[in-house]
Amino acid sequence: METSTVIGIGMGIISVFVGMILKGAPLTALNNPAAFLIIIGGTFSCLFIGFRMEQLKNFPNLIKLTLKKPALQEQAELLRMFVELSQIARREGILALESKVQEIEDPFFRTGLGMVIDGMEPEFVSDVLDAELEIMKGRHAEGRSMFTQAGTYAPTLGVLGAVVGLIAALGNLNDIEKLGHSIAAAFVATILGIFTGYVLWLPFANKLKIMSEQEIGQKRMIIEGILSLQAGDSPTAIESKLMVFIPQSVRANLKKED
């Protein structure tokens, strides 16, 4: 499980609850079904209007994705794998890598290496892998946009909920006690709108963006490694090329290990 996401959600909830207590606001004020209906129901109604059903079906999976650690291969592990493959290719030829294809879990890596073994032209291999990468980027952006839009709608719906609550409060002008409770309840929708928008939906969108950029970087490293294998570059040359995808701190540790 992705610890930072869980900690962030927990801290957000605790901050609101403890903040309300410190300000003297009763937690029972949050027991407002109308506010929840306006914010949660309204946000999802906007998403249903703005996106297709097949896109929305992926919404729960994207939330689960932010709560799980990315199942990406470590960059250092990829580097070692390409160096090993290049050594085999130089000793026994590129066809000798055929036995290694089924050991590779990443379908993107497996597809690219398979095309190289099949003797396809470097330009064709590069075009296919680049096209697949662009489609993946578009798919990630599409999923991320649902959370970005939800984060935009929710705070605005909070204002709508407050206005609705104030309209109800104006009907109790003759009863000061009811008027006070109605005004307090009116702003619960604003709290919920701002909280869900800025503590949940927009941070989820940012987490998905970071995860997407990490995966894109990994795929670019794989493309560079596959094309280098096809070009017959030496293990040392491949290592130098792929090292640029690895952060400086990790490079230092790799050199110590070597």
Per-residue pLDDT of the chain (258 residues; tens, 9 = 90+): 678 888 999 999 999 889 988 988 888 888 888 899 999 999 999 999 999 999 999 999 999 998 887 767 788 889 889 999 999 988 888 888 888 888 888 899 999 999 999 999 999 999 999 999 999 999 999 999 999 999 999 999 999 988 888 887 777 677 677 777 777 778 899 999 999 999 999 999 999 999 999 999 999 999 999 999 999 899 999 988 998 888 887 776 666 555
pLDDT at 256: 58
Neighbouring CB atoms inside 10 A of 242's CB total: 22
The 8-class DSSP code of residue 56 comes to H
Mean pLDDT of all residues belonging to the chain:
89
Total number of residues shown for the chain: 258
For CA atoms 113, 119, 121, 127, give the dihedral sign. negative
How far, in Å, CA of 146 to CA of 49, rounded?
11
The 8-class DSSP code of residue 40 comes to I
> Which residue from 213, 64, 75 is spatially nearest to 136, judged by alpha carbons?
213
Structure pTM?
Answer: 0.86
Residue type at 107?
P
Please, how many CA atoms are within 13 Å of residue 121, restricted to the half-sphere of its CB? Answer: 3
3-state secondary structure of 24: coil
How far, in Å, CA of 226 to CA of 85, rounded?
10
pLDDT at 255: 61
